[in-house]
Structure 1
Amino acid sequence: MASLKYIVKGNKNPSHFYVRFYHSKDFDLTTKTNLLINPNHWSNKQQRFKSLAEDIPDKAEITAYTEKLKAFIISEYNKAYTQGEVMSSQWLKNKVNSFNNRPSDGADYETYFIPFVDKWIEESKVRVNMATGKTISPRTIRKYNTTVERLKEFQVEQDTKLKHSDIGLDFHRKFVSYLVSQKYGNSTIEKYISQIKTFCREAEANGYKTNPEYKSRKFTFRRSKPLDPYLTVDEINDISKLEIEDNRLEKIRDLFIIGLWTGLRISDFKEQDRLQIVGEDILISQTQKTLAPVKIPIHPQIKTILTKRNGILPQFNLTPDALEVLFNKEIKNIAKLAGITQKIIGDKRDKKTNRNVRGIFPKHKLVSSHICRRSFVTNHYGKIPNRAIMTITTHSSEKQLMDYVKISQDEYVEMVRDHWENEEAKDNLKVV
């Protein structure tokens, strides 16, 4: 039968407090608990504090510790025995370190949060997403690393080293306060918190001692609803009719129009080997983000572009990243040339602080590549079935689709104005 005892060796005060775990002739293991104790206060034979030791400040804490550690070691032994593990001094030392929330053999990632996340991110570079069958994208890796940078900055500010067990509600409160003090927006904070929860789930899945509070409903953050603009049909028509002499700018405009009438992401244009024109449709064997195949009917404005370009989409001798940078820059200029300059309320990136700033800006300055999907969804919403729109945009739920429906503030204001005018007209008829 397995037995567990606590012993003090020597007479020096203080002395190390040891745990001995043994089982007849099978094993006899001893290791330090790393607690220190006065040998005159402890009875190795009776396995308790001596009766004369009544005024020890940490007596209750040590007694509770010995009971919890004993239960933990026996529980771990039962698991190890059923799995055929060999008992050794190192096994017992590792279990005591685990109970004490200390790394074993220099493996910081077992206890400390950021070393684990760094290791997990490095492994993610070659890890295959089982849901998609593809390796994790470099963009996702960059997002992970950005979150880790914020955590490292927080550690410096707090003068601490975060353990897995620290990532609870108290951490959440302090970390959010830190991010707010650094002028990060609500949406950015929500993304950081969401990724930290992902890291916690991975740590727990690896068997490390995490704080269950990360699963709390309070361990979250409400992102502010972004003020994302979209282009109306009239504005798209104005862009389509622009006379552009510069060949490269004209190609960007044509690609812009194709995006506005297909709802495709710029990432889908960057890999045109998967995109073909077949008859009256655009076929994509696999979209970049969702990996879904798509069939999109060709809009009349796209037909005009294809006729002008002999049935070939605009071609660019650029890397995918360079194309995205160029596209985002030039479509702002194109929108300005098309007269889309009315001032609206929106969020614009401040280059000095790299933060979004809410203010009143000319609409063309708020145009970016994602306006294509927002415009496609908004301009078709309510006119064709939602399922038809989702078939083209590859949204998996109507909730996801509705995030892209962007009725402008001006349109809502006009709805109120029309309602008032109709009510006034009714009142005037009653008077007559």
Structure 2
Amino acid sequence: MKTTLTSTHGVFRFGLKDSVKSLKESPKKESLIMLHFASKGKRFKKSIGFKSSLQNWDSTKQRIKTGKGMMTNAYKINAFLNDIQTFAEEELSSMVKNDNSINVNNLSELIGHRINGTEKEEAVNENERLVHYSENLLESKKKRIGATTYRSYNQTLKLLKLYEKQYKTTLTFDEIDLNFYRSFVDMLEDEGFSLNTIGKHIKNLKTFLNDALVNGVSNNIIFKNREFKSPKEITTDIYLTNEEIKVLAKKDFSKRPLVEQARDIFLIGCYTGQRVSDYNGLNDENIEDDNGHKLIKIKQKKTDNIVYIPVIKEIMEVMKRYDNKFPPKMSEPILRKNIKTACSAVDFKELVKVSCTKGGKLVQGKVPKFLLVKTHTARRSFCTNHYVAGKSVQNIMIFSGHKTEREFYKYIRVEKKQEALAAMKSGFFD
């Protein structure tokens, strides 16, 4: 029986997932049967969905042993392996004949569809399916993570399902390799996602894979490979200067209550340096009095870090509009929309150069500044303005809650001249 296809185009072979060394220590331990393909440095592997112990596996024939004491379904498994091998060889030959090349991703997908579309006696354990496992993981974390984080993970899950639909496959942990990584990134680019959004989804995917690894559900560590990276780039994130914040604060929005409320919540963020999850929804319980000094105590939702921020006169001016209380909490979509409206109304329309990688292509242009204002701009403005004023980074971090200077400096959006002036103000030449 011909069990391995070897040609100038590529090699197919079947083998057990676990190493021979480990299986020799436990000859009765069952291991998944894998199909491996290699062609000029490009590789992929597929779980067949059946298992065998080393003592029942013929490594020379790459089939289940038959004869006395054989597995009850040995002939059926071998017939299935024969079918997959025949199909794989025919598809490979067809590709070479028609295109004079091998599309490894397409070949992998076709074989995966054949494997999943053919009736098998034993189904792959549901926990070995990436999406199924990740859905359960996300549900178990739902009460312990923020709404934004939950939404982000859920978006990644939807994209993994889209991948399975487009490629007509069911992803198992064994099938996650660099070929999958590249085709998943290609799909996200085709969907028009920016580079940083793609990086976010890869980061979420790696969280799913790491959890499965830690819990012994998977032993696949390919996601730790340096090529399995979460791409990112520095985006055009702006900040509002102290002068711009003053202009925004003075604008009368009393006839537009939603815009006024959003503007005031945003101002609280500019004055406290917190994330929107912390500055949107503050109440009386957050205020403490320490010998006449009013402080806002915040337990940051993302890090559980506790910070204290003084109730400065600008914060008090905002609170006067709400009977000396903080503005009521607002849903984030409405907040984001009305912050942009407020910034447009005060003519923050200076054209700003922007560039980002979207859909795999570099996109450049100019947009009005108000369109770039986000809820996070408040935190970035706080950090940048105090930095430009010459305040020490360590002192700014006391209030912002950044744990490392490396993380802090990601927030700073100043030109080289401003950096030099900030160093001078800090006493560099004194």
Q: Same fold (TM over 0.5)?
A: yes
Contact 1:113 1:164 in 2 (8 A): yes
Aligned equivalents of 1:362 and 1:286: distance in 2?
35
Aligned equivalents of 1:393 and 1:72: distance in 2?
51
Contact 1:109 1:119 in 2 (8 A): no
Q: Which residue of structure 1 lines up, in the alignment, with residue 170 of structure 2?
A: 161
C-alpha deviation, 1:164, in angstroms: 0.8
Contact 1:186 1:221 in 2 (8 A): no
Q: Which residue of structure 1 lines up, in the alignment, with residue 25 of structure 2?
A: 75
| Aligned 1:24-423 pairs, distance under 5 A | 56-58=1-3, 71-76=21-26, 95-96=29-30, 98=32, 101=47, 102=49, 106=123, 108-125=125-142, 135-246=144-255, 248=257, 249-268=259-278, 269-272=280-283, 274-276=285-287, 278=289, 279-306=292-319, 309=322, 311-314=324-327, 316=328, 322-346=330-354, 359-382=365-388, 383-407=390-414
Query: CA distance change for structure 1 residues 103 and 282 in 2, over 3 Å: closer, same or farther?
Result: farther
Aligned equivalents of 2:16 and 2:404: distance in 1?
53
C-alpha deviation, 1:323, in angstroms: 3.1
Q: Which residue of structure 1 lines up, in the alignment, with residue 38 of structure 2?
A: none
Which residue identity does 2:272 align to in structure 1? Answer: T
C-alpha deviation, 1:257, in angstroms: 2.1
SS in 2 for 1:381: helix
C-alpha deviation, 1:58, in angstroms: 2.3
Aligned equivalents of 1:271 and 1:305: distance in 2?
13
Contact 2:296 2:311 in 1 (8 A): no
Contact 1:377 1:405 in 2 (8 A): yes
SS in 2 for 1:121: helix
Aligned equivalents of 2:335 and 2:151: distance in 1?
21
TM-score by length of 1: 0.66
Query: CA distance change for structure 1 residues 170 and 304 in 2, over 3 Å: closer, same or farther?
Result: same
SS in 2 for 1:296: strand
Query: CA distance change for structure 1 residues 210 and 184 in 2, over 3 Å: closer, same or farther?
Result: farther
Aligned equivalents of 2:191 and 2:17: distance in 1?
45
**TM-superposition CA deviations, 1:258-302 (whole Å, max 9, x none):** 221111223223252542153443322412222222211233322
Query: CA distance change for structure 1 residues 216 and 304 in 2, over 3 Å: closer, same or farther?
Result: same
Contact 1:347 1:366 in 2 (8 A): no
SS in 1 for 2:30: helix
Unmatched segments (≥5 aa) in structure 1: 1-55, 78-91, 127-134, 417-432
Q: Which residue of structure 2 lines up, in the alignment, with residue 31 of structure 1?
A: none
C-alpha deviation, 1:155, in angstroms: 2.0
Which residue identity does 2:307 align to in structure 1? Answer: V
SS in 2 for 1:295: strand
Which residue identity does 1:363 align to in structure 2? Answer: K
Aligned equivalents of 1:405 and 1:57: distance in 2?
64
C-alpha deviation, 1:368, in angstroms: 1.7
Which residue identity does 2:400 align to in structure 1? Answer: T
Query: CA distance change for structure 1 residues 288 and 207 in 2, over 3 Å: closer, same or farther?
Result: closer
Contact 1:263 1:392 in 2 (8 A): yes
**TM-superposition CA deviations, 1:53-86 (whole Å, max 9, x none):** xxx4228999995997875444347xxxxxxxxx
C-alpha deviation, 1:304, in angstroms: 2.9
Contact 2:15 2:33 in 1 (8 A): no
Aligned equivalents of 1:380 and 1:386: distance in 2?
9
Contact 1:306 1:312 in 2 (8 A): yes
C-alpha deviation, 1:117, in angstroms: 1.7
C-alpha deviation, 1:306, in angstroms: 3.9
Which residue identity does 2:396 align to in structure 1? Answer: I
Contact 2:16 2:33 in 1 (8 A): no
C-alpha deviation, 1:369, in angstroms: 1.1
Aligned equivalents of 1:308 and 1:67: distance in 2?
66
**TM-superposition CA deviations, 1:374-403 (whole Å, max 9, x none):** 100110114111111111111111111111
Aligned equivalents of 2:16 and 2:393: distance in 1?
62
Query: CA distance change for structure 1 residues 274 and 357 in 2, over 3 Å: closer, same or farther?
Result: farther
Query: CA distance change for structure 1 residues 190 and 65 in 2, over 3 Å: closer, same or farther?
Result: closer
Which residue identity does 2:134 align to in structure 1? Answer: V
* Identity across the alignment (%): 27
Query: CA distance change for structure 1 residues 151 and 250 in 2, over 3 Å: closer, same or farther?
Result: closer
Aligned equivalents of 2:136 and 2:251: distance in 1?
52
C-alpha deviation, 1:183, in angstroms: 1.4
